[in-house]
Amino acid sequence: MLGKEKIKRIKSLEYKKFRDELGLFIAEGEKLAGEILKSNIQIESLFCLPDAILPNHNVKAEIISENEMKRISLLKTPSKAFIIAQIPHKKINFSQINNSLNIVLDDIQDPGNLGTIIRLCDWFGIGNIICSPKTADCFSPKSVQSTMGAICRVNVFYADLNDFLNTVAKNITVYGTFLDGENIYTAKLLQQGLIIMGNEGKGISHETEKYVTKKLHIPCFSNNAVKAESLNVSVATAIICSEFKRRFL
């Protein structure tokens, strides 16, 4: 049985303040719970409906009623599995960063966009994402949900971008998209580097721009009189990652 106090504590994890305080995050749904159960992430609690289908695991599940699930769920349609897990703490591995392709997020606001970017990084074998402190929290319920489990496999770090870029930018090419950048489809691209993606409205900040050593541009193919305005940031990230990765198939 889930008591009032317990439900209140669970619900508090919707907010960053309490996630930080407790070092915990929540994840809902059989698929997402399954991914977390298969990962190295430490689980505090696993709540299930009697008919939930999950992969083999050795976590003690607490069977709850549909009504109880409704009370703790943040989803419109509550699912059959609900996990409370520990936020993992990892350290940036600089030598790994120097020898691979990485994504840097400069104030991405929308947790859905962030989650989608984490998911596509997983697909493209990009293991590290470095986020500015103002970027959305990757452990917010909406972000975790949008990663579809990729949060278990991709390392997401929060760091002052000035400090981070000061440390690594000398050794590696720093890419960023700008209106006056080189056509990404014909530009020379390397297997290692940092790809900076800017804020949904403002793009890459001036502070961060100064570290960019190679400006890129995704050309617009619209032939409308009024040209298409822009691409959603997760869509732009996907196009860029796809283009980098296909070169070294």
| Residue 7, C-beta contacts closer than 8 angstroms, at least 6 positions apart | 71, 72
- Per-position x/- string for 109-128, each x denoting binding to its own copies as judged by CB under 8 A, each - no binding: ---x---x--xx-xxxx---
The verdict on 107 binding its own copies (CB under 8 A) reads no
| Per-residue buried b or exposed e for 106-127, using 16+ beta carbons within 10 Å of the residue's own CB | bbbebbebbbbbbbbbbebebb
Nearest to 113 by CA among 209, 235, 13, 195: 235
For residue 212, CA distances in Å to 158, 176, 180, 196, 198 come to: 19, 6, 13, 8, 12
- Whole-number minimum distance, CB 223 to its own copies, in Å? 5
- Per-position x/- string for 169-198, each x denoting binding to its own copies as judged by CB under 8 A, each - no binding: --------------x-xx------------
The verdict on 61 binding its own copies (CB under 8 A) reads no
Looking at the DSSP bridge assignments, the partners of residue 26 are: 84
200 vs 209 by CB, closer to its own copies: 200
Site for its own copies in 85-104 (CB under 8 A): none
List of residues contacting its own copies (CB under 8 A): 35, 38-39, 112, 116, 119-120, 122-125, 146, 148-150, 153, 183, 185-186, 218-224, 226, 228-232, 234-235, 238-239, 242-243, 245-246, 249
